[in-house]
Structure 1
Amino acid sequence: TLIFFPIDNKDSLGIDQLRRAVEQCARDDKSVLQEVSIRWMAFLDSILSKREESAYLTFVDEVIALGANVGIPSVREQEEALAFFHERGLLIHMTSTEILKNIVVINPQWLIDALSKVIRDGSIHIDFQEFKNIGLEEDARSTFETALASRDFLEYVWKGDQVEFFIDLMKRTMLLSEWDRDSYLIPSLLRDRYVLPETGIPGHRCVYDFSSGFLPNGVFQRLLCLCVELSSRNGNGNTDLKLYENFTSIELEKGSLVHLLENKEAQAISVFTEKTHA
């Protein structure tokens, strides 16, 4: 049994099978039988009616007023409704931080476009002359050659629109971590590959083996991002880090080094721990 639905885009083969499977899943999903009040539906309609004007709404300044206008003055009930709409993919409302909570995304393409301004192949999609003209050539090269993005670079590519929101979003999804006061590490932009020395990597080894399935793209980069964040919280600084597309060496605690190695051929991530001093 296949774990995916093969589709022939040229002859439209497989589309009927996929459609039937989706319909069956919808029938089997008990959540579709959940009753929703007319006020909630009016609330959703009033939110989505703003799509032509903006890709997002602010919760405090706009959404609360829309809720009150359709008979939902309770902020708590509005939050419950937004959570319900979010779970069903009707809009995007993340609540893990106050910054994220205040933005209700009604056009997901806005998120994709914004993130792709940063996570892209700089050798193909970046016009360095454009950045040179505005005095940000060094910032752009740092971003796409060393994976360190300056605040000024992010402000420019996002046109100053909801920069704190995007930074917080990338932090929470482990696409970015703070490097220092004015720059951020974006691991998915690392390009240099680590060549394993003949002596191997020192330390006790633990292997996360994905060979029975597959190692999803981005897992290693998110793990690296998490380690950098943890190291920074512990006050270890970032001066002695070794960062590669497939390897990092980082001090999470004083006197303890952690080495991470991604092996795509073996579909595995190896973690080595090494004591640097007693």
Structure 2
Amino acid sequence: AYKRALKEQESADVAYARLMLLGSAGTGKTSLKHSLMEEPFNPHTTSTIVSDVSSVRPFGHKWQTMRENKWREATEEDEIKEIASLFKFIQSRSSSYHTSVLSAKYSCDESDALVSTGSIASDFNVEIRIKSIFERASSTDQKTELLVQPFLHIWDCGGQPVFLEILPAFLTPRTMFLLLFDASKDFRERWQSRQNTPDGKVLFVEVVNESTSDLMVKWISTIHSYLVKHNKEDASSPSLYCIGTRGDKLKRKRKREQVKKQIQSLYEEKEFSDLIEDVLIIDNTTSGRGEKEDPSITELREAVDSFINNLAVKTPVNWVLFRKVLRELKQNIISVSDAIAIGVACHIRADDVPEVLKFYHELGAVLYYPQLEGLNKKVILNPKWFVDTIGKVFPLEKGWRGTNRWYLLQNKGILVQPLYQEVWQSSSIDPEEIIELLVHFRLAAQVQTDLYDGRFKQYFLPAVLPGYTGDPNEVRPGYELRASPVHITFSTGYVPPGFFTRLATTVATDDNVKLNFDNVYAAPTAGFIDRLAITMKLRSKIEVKHIYRNRVCFSYGHPSDDLFLTDINDAIQADVLRYVPEISHPIPFKTVCQQLLKLLDKCCQK
């Protein structure tokens, strides 16, 4: 469809790209975004929850598109000017061999003669919107030279541990990644989640069992695995910069160079080393101060400009118009049938519209999931809205607290149907379809437990739980047999972000497996003192928590054996334990271990 459309009509160079800001919470991702926009530094910037997506025009001297040389938010006027430039260019080439479908059927004088596309398009007043676009474009003074006008979608991603699980679902190769770290701190220390509140307070929340350097290498290896290693046929290649923030605290140039060398040592001789362009130390406090601005900020802007310039792709002019109309709708989501009607109004063949949607999905302009039942009939026009909608179930507001449904989610990782229906009821999309997306990306798994009314669906979401920081070899006492631990390793040397969640949810769907939740066990009694303590009720029971974001216990078979999966950063450790005498179990322990090895291998492949 794409090649045929290029032959049938004129094309425009479209440069859509995504700039994704990654890093732990509190490293200054939002401040860096403001620096790129040359906005003054705000020391009271609040932390981003889930993500913040902005559409930006990165104007610079290389683009020659505007008199401006400053980045700013994209406006409706920008869209009209781009259309006007497109029209002027087409008119200047009216004698060319290929007559544009757009210029032939959509001149401003003929806009009243648009073919009706049925009630669906009429509901959105598609013909009127197209006519309005042409009228405004025709009155706009533009040069006849067709220049690339870039659109950059900046994803300022929340750095809290739970949200790092969501982001792999939105990775695309047409992305420049800025991986941030606090250059003023020892990146070998364990990372603590930090949140800046609207009232100016700083909350230090969860301490995770990994260092900043661990987290950085995990992200780099994940991006490489998703977008480079397994997508060698894709012409688009991502780019990554490691950005050290709080450069104002590193007064000496020697200290900055030392930090850069430490970061470079993390990826030297790694298979993903070619992905990393450079390490920059940036002082966000100088943003918007003209000549006093940190030169590294200017260097980064120029790098983004260069990256986008290399992504310019020829796009059939009718396809360009199609996207403009979709933006004019100002809707978060429409049906595919709506999109087809709009495409027909833009003189795109009905059968080609799904291909156009895939094209813009890859460019990051819309979200379209034809492989998902339910969502395959939807087109998400506002990616920010959709990411925020998914994220609602993770940081539930205080108003939800105190209910049993909230307790199950926050403490057991079980999301019950009444809760997610209530949370997502006003989202303009069926809550069941949102759940289906989470299941598709293996962020959730449908399970059945005794924790809630069995008439309602239940889903396991380990990502919402706190992390485990204890000894990975710790298990509940009283076992009869314990197998030597098995370690699932990766060529990068680290467990990719999100992989443990996907593995745990995949294992949870097996018919022979059940989640093994918190239990209270009798304390072991070794002698007279222990028995006396129990008699006096000084020590009778101990509580063992089994389910965490990075550690999950399953029960396997009947009678059940325990399977512990633990993310230990450089590998996933699997432990199998039996709590009944071998002679009383119908299946030998060795056989169970072999069955579980096969199960884990199958789940890892999935």
TM tier relative to shorter chain? 0.7 to 0.9
Question: Which letter does structure 2 place at the counterpart of 1:73?
Answer: R
Partner of residue 49 from structure 1, selected from 324, 328, 351: 328
Correspondences of 1:231-250 after superposition (within 5 Å): 231=510, 235-236=511-512, 238=514, 240=516, 242-250=546-554
TM-score by length of 1: 0.78
Question: Which letter does structure 1 place at the counterpart of 2:329?
Answer: K
Corresponding residue number in structure 2 for 1:171: 439
CA distance in 1, matches of 2:321, 2:557: 53
Corresponding residue number in structure 2 for 1:103: 378
Corresponding residue number in structure 1 for 2:343: 67
CA distance in 2, matches of 1:202, 1:96: 42
Aligned-pair CA distance for 1:74:
2.1
Partner of residue 362 from structure 2, selected from 59, 75, 87: 87
CA RMSD in angstroms comes to 3.2
Aligned-pair CA distance for 1:197:
2.7
Correspondences of 1:63-212 after superposition (within 5 Å): 63-75=339-351, 77-120=352-395, 125-128=397-400, 137-161=403-427, 162=429, 163-180=431-448, 182-191=457-466, 193=468, 195=471, 196-197=473-474, 202-209=482-489
Percentage of pairs with the same residue: 21
Partner of residue 269 from structure 1, selected from 563, 572, 591: 572
Equivalent residues of 2:513, 2:557 under 8 A apart: no
Equivalent residues of 1:177, 1:186 under 8 A apart: yes
Correspondences of 1:203-222 after superposition (within 5 Å): 203-209=483-489, 214-222=494-502
Instruction: Map Cα deviations across residues 152-189 of structure 1 (whole Å, 9 max, x no partner).
Output: 10011112542122101111122111113521111112
SS across alignment from 1:166: helix
CA distance in 2, matches of 1:9, 1:214: 31
Aligned-pair CA distance for 1:191:
3.0
Q: 1:49 to 1:144 in 2, by over 3 A?
A: same
Corresponding residue number in structure 1 for 2:317: 38
Q: Which has the higher contact order (CA 8 A, sep 6+)?
A: 2
Q: 1:258 to 1:146 in 2, by over 3 A?
A: closer
Equivalent residues of 2:493, 2:571 under 8 A apart: no
Equivalent residues of 1:146, 1:189 under 8 A apart: no
Equivalent residues of 1:227, 1:252 under 8 A apart: no
Question: Which letter does structure 2 place at the counterpart of 1:171?
Answer: V
Q: 1:240 to 1:127 in 2, by over 3 A?
A: same
Q: Are 1:259 and 2:564 counterparts?
A: yes
Equivalent residues of 1:55, 1:105 under 8 A apart: yes
Unaligned 5+ runs, structure 2: 1-260, 265-275, 288-293, 449-455, 518-545, 579-584, 589-606
SS across alignment from 1:10: helix
CA distance in 1, matches of 2:383, 2:302: 26
CA distance in 2, matches of 1:202, 1:211: 28
Q: 1:104 to 1:90 in 2, by over 3 A?
A: same
SS across alignment from 1:17: helix
Corresponding residue number in structure 2 for 1:20: 302
Question: Which has the larger Rg?
Answer: 2
Equivalent residues of 2:513, 2:554 under 8 A apart: no
Corresponding residue number in structure 1 for 2:203: none
Aligned-pair CA distance for 1:239:
5.7
Question: Which letter does structure 1 place at the counterpart of 2:355?
Answer: E
Q: 1:6 to 1:227 in 2, by over 3 A?
A: farther
Equivalent residues of 2:486, 2:573 under 8 A apart: yes
Question: Which letter does structure 1 place at the counterpart of 2:568?
Answer: N
SS across alignment from 2:379: strand
Question: Which letter does structure 1 place at the counterpart of 2:552?
Answer: T
TM-score by length of 2: 0.38
SS across alignment from 1:96: coil
Q: 1:154 to 1:73 in 2, by over 3 A?
A: same
Q: 1:253 to 1:23 in 2, by over 3 A?
A: farther
CA distance in 1, matches of 2:389, 2:299: 34
Aligned-pair CA distance for 1:26:
3.1
CA distance in 2, matches of 1:69, 1:144: 48
Aligned-pair CA distance for 1:38:
1.4
Question: Which letter does structure 2 place at the counterpart of 1:164?
Answer: E
Count of matched residue pairs: 256
SS across alignment from 2:393: coil
Equivalent residues of 1:58, 1:104 under 8 A apart: yes
Question: Which letter does structure 1 place at the counterpart of 2:305?
Answer: E
Equivalent residues of 1:247, 1:259 under 8 A apart: yes
Aligned-pair CA distance for 1:67:
0.9
CA distance in 2, matches of 1:109, 1:273: 42
Unaligned 5+ runs, structure 1: none
Equivalent residues of 1:204, 1:274 under 8 A apart: no
Which 10-residue stretch deviates more, 144-153 or 183-192? 183-192
CA distance in 1, matches of 2:490, 2:283: 29
Q: 1:78 to 1:211 in 2, by over 3 A?
A: closer
